[in-house]
Amino acid sequence: MTIGAALTQAREALGLTVQDVSLRTKIRGDYLRALENDAWEALPERTFTRAYLQRYAQELGLDPEPLLSRLDQALPPDPAAVRGDVAGRSELKRGETRRSEAGRRLEQGLASTQTRPARAVPAPSPARTFPLVPLLLGLLLLGGGAAYWAVTRQENGAAPAQQKTVQPPTAPVTGGTDPASTEPAPSAAESVNLSVSSVPTGARVYLDNRDLGVTPLQSFPVNPREKAELRVELAGYRPFRTGLKLVQGRNMRVTLNRNAAGSIVDVNAARARAAAQAARAKAAAAKQKAETQAQATRANLPASAPPGKPDRAAGQSGAGEGTTTPGTAKPGAGPATTPPAVKTPVSVTFTGESWTRVTDAAGRVLYQGTPPAGSRKGFPAGVTIRAGNGGAVQVSVNGQPAKAMGQNGQVVLKSY
């Protein structure tokens, strides 16, 4: 089984997608797919590739050592780097050998000087005697120890030091394949969440050439920026590209078309606008209702009309109570006389509140409303009265005793 097949099988066994692993490990999704496809040419240099593979295997619960061994076979180290390392060690050993030869020659010269006759070498005074040989031996030992320490450190300590320098970047790469362009991992306060959906779904999302995954993309953490480029692509559809300001979380919905340009909608902004419109519509409806109630209240007339004037609640000329004013005469009549007051044939008394509608024989509305309790109204004969509370409406016809139209709370329709 290849490296990519082992990684793919382990990821699918855990029920994870490449996007899920990318969010956990902070490794670009295209790098993870390249590892699963054994596409080494799509990955950065060998040092970073080993670090990505080790981190991916650990996230999936796999032992990274066998996979790293296979990677070393597929991507062997650079021979030039190996040759440079070996040459450096050889040069260090040659320097140590030269220092050892110089020390031996110095010792031989000192020994030959001591074998000369005593007359040829003046005896030094006790005050100027200096232990030269022990000093030289000490220097040689010190130089040899330093050289041995350097070689030992280079052989034994290079691997840990290199391991520290090849740790993969913890921040998502914003574009390209150069690992040096990676950013430090943003803290929770420095990152914003980007959600992208598309119609149709399954489109691939790129932010500044960085592959974020396929739609629907939910709350993907990205670094905030004033200007970013969002690109959404789907096979068979025209790619969509737009500028985006990412200083706070965004929720975008992109509609793709096959031939025409697509469109984008800020879902959060659209929801806010819809909520504002609904609030304005609700306020306008409440205002209209209040105005309608005020108009209905103003349309209701007082309990009785002033003496000598018709009752305007009847709504028709000549249909109200007291159609003739005492002391006046109709045109064409004889001398002015004072006839007795003419009473309307149908008199309605309201003992309580009841919605009432009064229509004439032609169906015209003479009155409609809820008069206050205790009010009285008069109408001509042949009217039809509809009352919402029959017990509160009493009707008298031609001066007969008034009778209630029905029971309390009963809706009644009668003609008089």
Contacts of 42 (CB under 8 A, 6+ apart): 30, 31, 34, 177
Mean pLDDT by 10 residues, the chain (416 residues): 91 93 93 92 91 93 91 77 51 62 63 52 48 74 72 48 43 42 47 92 92 91 92 94 91 93 90 90 91 78 46 42 41 43 79 93 92 92 93 92 92 92
The answer to whether the beta carbons of residues 128 and 186 sit under 8 Å apart is: no
Residues 83 and 160 in one domain: yes
Last residue of a domain, one of 59, 74, 89: 74
Q: Is residue 284 situated within a structural domain?
A: no
Residues 195 and 254 in one domain: yes
pLDDT for the residue numbered 184: 45
Q: Is residue 282 situated within a structural domain?
A: no
Residues 354 and 415 in one domain: yes
**Tokens (6 digits) for 287:** 């205002």
CA distance 53 to 65: 10
Residues 147 and 88 in one domain: yes
Q: DSSP state, 247?
A: S
Q: Is residue 317 situated within a structural domain?
A: no
**Tokens (6 digits) for 374:** 């205790």
pLDDT for the residue numbered 336: 43
Question: How far lies 259's CA from each of 202, 236, 238, 264, in Å?
Answer: 18, 9, 6, 16
Residues 69 and 124 in one domain: no
Last residue of a domain, one of 56, 74, 92: 74
The answer to whether the beta carbons of residues 272 and 266 sit under 8 Å apart is: no
Residues 191 and 248 in one domain: yes
Number of structural domains the chain divides into: 4
pLDDT for the residue numbered 393: 94
Residues 218 and 201 in one domain: yes
pLDDT for the residue numbered 151: 54
Residues 64 and 86 in one domain: no
Q: Is residue 246 situated within a structural domain?
A: yes
pLDDT for the residue numbered 204: 94
CA distance 106 to 92: 21
Residues 365 and 408 in one domain: yes
Last residue of a domain, one of 235, 270, 305: 270
Q: Is residue 279 situated within a structural domain?
A: no
pLDDT for the residue numbered 239: 94
pLDDT for the residue numbered 8: 94
Q: Is residue 160 situated within a structural domain?
A: yes
Residues 193 and 155 in one domain: no
Neighbouring-strand partners of residue 229: 243
Q: Which domain covers residue 228, as residue numbers?
A: 186-270
Q: Is residue 412 situated within a structural domain?
A: yes
Q: Is residue 258 situated within a structural domain?
A: yes
End-to-end CA distance of the chain: 102
